[in-house]
């Protein structure tokens, strides 16, 4: 779990092995996927990012968010 202030700016694409949940606490959360699809959320709303989806905060995002993500299970030998 991370509490993050996301000011406007350029963000790199990232992806995770497990789903990620991003709750907007203040402002407007704006996300975009690698293919250009966009979604947004306002305070009290949540965005679910499916496992394996390349995504980033949009240039015009300005929000305080709480991210919830599981760690992928450790590989066993």
Contact 66, 22 (CB under 8 A): yes
Q: What angle do CA 57, 72, 24 make, to 5 degrees?
A: 30
- Which pLDDT score is estimated for 77? 62
- Which pLDDT score is estimated for 70? 77
d(CA 46, CA 72): 21
What CATH class has 2-68?
Answer: mainly beta
- Which pLDDT score is estimated for 69? 84
Average per-residue pLDDT for the chain = 93
């Amino acid at each position: 779990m991370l509490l993050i202030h996301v000011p406007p700016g350029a963000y790199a694409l990232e992806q995770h092995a497990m789903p990620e949940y991003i709750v907007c606490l203040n402002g407007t959360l704006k996300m975009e996927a690698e293919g250009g699809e966009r979604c947004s959320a306002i305070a009290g709303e949540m965005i679910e990012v499916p496992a394996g989806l390349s995504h980033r905060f949009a240039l015009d995002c300005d929000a305080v968010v709480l991210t919830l993500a599981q760690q992928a299970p450790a590989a066993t030998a």
